[in-house]
A and B are shown apart, each in its own frame.
Chain A
Amino acid sequence: MVELVIYLVIFGTLFGSFAGAALLVWFERRLLGLWQDRLGPNRVGLFGAGLAIADIIKLFAKEDWIPPFADRFVFVFAPTAIVMAMLLGFAVVPFAPDIHVADLNIGLLFFLGMTSLAVYSVLLGGLASNNKYALLGGLRSAAQMVSYEVFMGLSLMGVVMQAGTFSLVDIVLWQADNIWFFIPQFIGFLIFLIAGIAESHRLPFDLPEAEHELVAGFHTEYSGMKFGMFMLGEYLGVILISSMIATIFFGGWLGPDFLPPIFWFFLKSFAFICFFILLRAAIPRPRYDQLMSFGWKYLLPLTLINLLATGAILLWA
C-alpha cells in the first residue's frame, strides 16, 4: 500500500509536471492575449485548451531532422538533458506535508545542482548545432548562467542559515513555526526571483534565444520534438522555479485550513507562474553585457550584504 502511494506520487509528479508544462504553453498564450488586447488561441477545445494537445501532436509528427553539419550525438543529447534535469528537480518539491517524491536532507542543494545541469543542455545544444546564431546563443547562455548561478545559490543561504537545514520539508515546517521567509529574507527573495528568471531564460532574460537578435539562439537548428524538449524544459523550469519560490519564501503548502494544503501550494506557485508571464508581456530585453554588469555590480554585493546581515543577526540573537 505504502509502495503504491509512493509510485502514485512519483507518476503524479512526472505526468503532472508534463501536463502542467503543456497546458502552460496554452495558458501563457491566453494570458498574453488578454494583456495584449487580442484573443490568443481560442479555437481548439474548451477555451482553446486543446491547443496543448494539438501542439504536442504537431511536434511529434514533424520530421526529426538532424542537420548534416551538426555533432550528431551531442545534438540529440542536449535537449534531453534539460528535461531530465528539470524533472529531477521536481523530486524534492514538497507539494504537501506527505506528498513529495523525496525529502532529501540536501534538498536545496539538489535543486541547485539540477538547475545547474540544465545549463549544459543550452550550451551543448548551441555548440553542437554548428550554427553561428546557435553558437552566440550558447556563449551568451554560458556567461549568463554561470553568473546568475552564483547569486541564486547565495540568495538561498540566508534561508538555510535561519532554518538550519537544507531539507525543503524542514524549511516549510520552520516557516509554519515562525514566519514566512519572504519577510526576513526579502532581499534573498528578490534576488532569487531575478536569478530564477535568468536561469529559466525567460524574457527579459531570454538572451540565449533573443528572437530579434539571434533568430532563435541556441535552438535555431532544432525542430520537431527535439525543439519540443527545449520548450518543455523551459516551461518545466518556470513551474519549478515558481514552486521553489512558493516553497522557500511563501510557506509552501501552508495556508488557512478551509482548503487542503496541496491546493495552497498550487495556488502560490500559480501566482508566480502568472508573474513570469506578465514579465514577458511587459519588459524589454536588456543587452547581454548590461545584464552581466547588473548581476556582478548590484546583485552580488547585495547578496553578500544580505548574507552577512543574516549571519550577524543570527549570532547576535
Chain B
Amino acid sequence: MSAVAEQVVPGNFEKKIGEQFPRASIASQHTVDKIETLWIPRNHLLEIIEYLKQDFDMLFDLCGVDERLRVYRSGMPDADYTVIYHFLSIKHLNELRVKVALSESDLTLPSIHTIFPNANWYEREAWDMFGITFTGHPALFRILLPPTWEGHALRKDHPARATDMAPFALSAERQDKEQEALRFKPEAWGLKRRDKDTEFMFLNLGPNHPSVHGVFRIVLQLDGEIIVDAVPEIGYHHRGAEKMAERQSWHTYIPYTDRIDYLGGVMNNLPYVMAVEQLAGIEVPERAKVIRIMMAEFFRISSHLVFYGTFAQDVGQLSPVFYMFSDREKLLRIVEAVTGGRMHPAWFRIGGVAQDLPEGWDTMVRDFIDWMPKRLDHYQKMAMDNSILQQRTRGIGIYTQQEALDWGITGPGLRATGVDFDWRRDKPYGGYDQFDFEVPVYHGGDCFDRARVRVDEIRESLKIIEQCLDNMPAGPYKAEHPLTTPPPKERTMMDIETLIHHFLNVSWGPVIPAGECSVTIEATKGNNMYYLTSDGSTNSYRTRIRTPSFPHLQQIPLISRGLLIPDLIAIIASIDFVMADVDR
C-alpha cells in the first residue's frame, strides 16, 4: 500500500454522511488542528461508523470527555459526556473525529467492536474512566483501575489527589475484599478449564516476569506448552497521567509527558508542546525545530537500541544488550550535555526548547554519527544474521496488513507488514518535511521483520541527525510570543508589559485560548497523539494521550494462539512496548 496523498477536502464527510443518512442530524465543529470533527446522533452511530469504515482503515483512538464543567462550548450540541472516535485513513492520509453527545441520565451507546476490533479495550477504558456503558461489549469491566475501585477517575467530580479523599485505611474486611478480587477465575476471563479430553493449565506470566518488560500480566491457557489462549491484563503501571494534566499548568505538565514512553525521553514532549503551540498560535523558530528533531531522533535511536538488545536477550543471546547499552550510554552523554538530563530531560518548552545548544555539541554529535554505523554492522552480523535467532523469530507472531490496521497497530509494527506509512514523511510535523530519509518497510509481519524495521530505522535516524548537524540554522531557540513559557527574558527589565507577561506566565502559567487540538507524531514505538482540550484556562480541560503500545498489547492473543511459550516471549520482545506507554 503506498501512501500517495489524495487529500480529502475538510468538510467533505459532513456532506457525504448527510447525503447517506438524511435523517441523522450531523453537526460540524471547528477545531484548531483543522481535523474534520463531526457530531453525530447516538442512534445512527453504528451505521455511520460502518459507512466510514470504507474510507478509514483504522480506529486510531477512542476516548471520553466529561463536558459538564466546560465553559466554552459554543456551537456544540448539548452534552454531559462525549465519546470521541478518531479515525485514520492511511490510504488518503486523512483523519476524522466523530463525537457522540451523551446526557448524564443515559450514559449508554452501542459498542463498535464488531466494526473495529480494537475498540474493545478503548471502550473498556472509557467505561473505567467515565462510567460510559457500551451495549454489546463482550467484557465491559475495569481495565486500568483495580476491580475494587469506586467511581470513575476521569470524571470531573472524582478527586485527583489522595489528599482530596478520606484517609486510607486497610481494614480486615477491606483486605479480604481486595484479596478476593485478586483471585483468579478463568471463567471471568472467558477461559475454559477443560476441553473434551484435555485439562488446561493456567500460567500467570507476570505481572513480574523477566521478559514482560515491566508490570504486565498475560494469563496463558496451556495445553502442555502450547498456548491455547492468552489474555493480556494491564493497568499495573497506571498513574493517572491524563488526570494529572487537568491539575498541572500547561507548562508544568511537560515532565509528566517524559514518563509516558520512558524510553522516548524528549520525544514525548514533542506532540504535547506542538499541540499547545497550535492552540496558542505560536510559531516556533527554525533553530528550535531542528534542535527538537535532532533530540527526538537521538531518543529514537536510544529506544531502538534498548529494543535491539532486549530482543536478542529474550531469544537467549546474552551479550548484545551489553554492547548496545554502552552505545546508548555514549548517546545519553550527548543528551546529558545538551539537556542536563538523561532519560527524562523534560527539555522542550512551549514555544521552543529550554536552552540553546552548548558549545562543542557538534563534535560530540559528529563523533556519535561516525561511531554508530560500524557498530550497527557488527550487530547485524552478531544478532540479526544469527541463524538461531532467525529460527526463533521468522514466521513467528505473524499478523497481516489488514489485521494490523484492524487492531490499530502503528509504527514499526505496521511497516513490518508492508504498509509504507510514516507520519514524519507522509504528514510531516515540526519541520520533518525539510529532511531526507527513507522509510524502511518489510512484508513478513513476523517478529523478525518487526525487528528489521527498527534496526534500519536507527540508520535513518542517524541520517536525520547528520542533516541536523550540517544544517543547524542560527537564530533564537524560543519563540517571541507572549505565551512562550518561560518567556524570553531579555526585555523583562525594559518594559512593564513584558515583565507582567513574564511574571504571570511563570507564576500562574500561560492561559491558553480555548479550543481543541491534536498532534500525532511518529514516536519510538508507533504513533503517539496528544489531544488537548483547552477551556481558556491555565490548565488543560482534558488531555487525551493516545499511546501506541496500548493497542499493540491488545492483539497479543491473536498472534500467539497455537504457539509455544518461547514464541510468546519472542513476540513480546518484538512488539517493543513499555508499560508506562500502555497504562499512562
- Residue from the list B322, B323, B389 in contact with A284, Cβ < 8 A: B389
Would A212 and B569 be within 8 Å (CB), given that A285-B388, A287-B564, A289-B564 are in contact? Answer: yes
Chain A residue at minimal CB-CB distance from B313: A212
Segment touching A, from B203-211, B244-252, B357-365: B203-211
Would you call B391 an interface residue if the criterion is a C-beta within 8 Å of the partner chain's C-beta atoms?
A: yes
Interface size on A, residues (CB 8 A): 30
> How distant is the Cα of A282 from the Cα of B386 in the complex, in angstroms?
10
Q: Digitize B179-215: 1 where CB-to-A-CB distance is under 8 Å, 0 elsewhere.
A: 0000000000000000000000101000001110000
Does B203 contact A280, Cβ atoms closer than 8 Å? Answer: no
For A285, what are the chain B residues with a Cβ–Cβ distance below 8 Å? Answer: 315-317, 388, 392, 566
Would you call B565 an interface residue if the criterion is a C-beta within 8 Å of the partner chain's C-beta atoms?
A: yes
Q: Digitize B296-340: 1 where CB-to-A-CB distance is under 8 Å, 0 elsewhere.
A: 000000000000000011111111001100100000000000000
A79 CB → nearest B CB, Å? 22
Residue of B224, B318, B322 with most partner-chain A CB within 10 A: B318
Would you call B567 an interface residue if the criterion is a C-beta within 8 Å of the partner chain's C-beta atoms?
A: yes
Does B323 contact A37, Cβ atoms closer than 8 Å? Answer: yes
Residue of B224, B391, B565 with most partner-chain A CB within 10 A: B565
Would you call A46 an interface residue if the criterion is a C-beta within 8 Å of the partner chain's C-beta atoms?
A: no
Within 8 A of A (CB), among B251-303: none
Within 8 A of B (CB), among A178-233: 203-204, 206, 210-215
Would A36 and B319 be within 8 Å (CB), given that A132-B201, A212-B313, A288-B566 are in contact? Answer: yes
For B313, what are the chain A residues with a Cβ–Cβ distance below 8 Å? Answer: 212
Q: Digitize A272-303: 1 where CB-to-B-CB distance is under 8 Å, 0 elsewhere.
A: 00000000111111111110000000000000
Does A284 contact B567, Cβ atoms closer than 8 Å? Answer: no
B206 CB → nearest A CB, Å? 10
> How distant is the Cα of A279 from the Cα of B201 in the complex, in angstroms?
34
> How distant is the Cα of A204 from the Cα of B317 in the complex, in angstroms?
8
For B176, what are the chain A residues with a Cβ–Cβ distance below 8 Å? Answer: none
Does A283 contact B388, Cβ atoms closer than 8 Å? Answer: yes
Does B569 contact A288, Cβ atoms closer than 8 Å? Answer: no
Does A36 contact B391, Cβ atoms closer than 8 Å? Answer: no
Q: Digitize B350-372: 1 where CB-to-A-CB distance is under 8 Å, 0 elsewhere.
A: 00000000000000000000000
Residue of A206, A213, A280 with most partner-chain B CB within 10 A: A213
A81 CB → nearest B CB, Å? 25
- Residue from the list A35, A281, A284, A289 in contact with B315, Cβ < 8 A: A284
Chain B residue at minimal CB-CB distance from A135: B201
Does B322 contact A37, Cβ atoms closer than 8 Å? Answer: yes
Does A36 contact B323, Cβ atoms closer than 8 Å? Answer: yes
A266 CB → nearest B CB, Å? 27
Does B565 contact A284, Cβ atoms closer than 8 Å? Answer: no
For A133, what are the chain B residues with a Cβ–Cβ distance below 8 Å? Answer: 203
- Residue from the list B201, B319, B569 in contact with A213, Cβ < 8 A: B569
Q: List 23 A-B contacts (CB under 8 A).
A: A32-B318, A36-B319, A36-B322, A37-B322, A37-B326, A38-B326, A136-B225, A140-B225, A203-B316, A203-B318, A204-B316, A212-B211, A212-B315, A213-B565, A280-B318, A281-B319, A284-B316, A286-B388, A286-B391, A287-B391, A287-B566, A288-B566, A290-B391
- B residues in contact (CB < 8 Å) with A: 201, 203, 209-211, 224-225, 312-319, 322-323, 326, 386, 388-389, 391-392, 564-567, 569
Closest 5 CB pairs of A and B: A285-B316, A284-B317, A36-B322, A284-B316, A284-B388
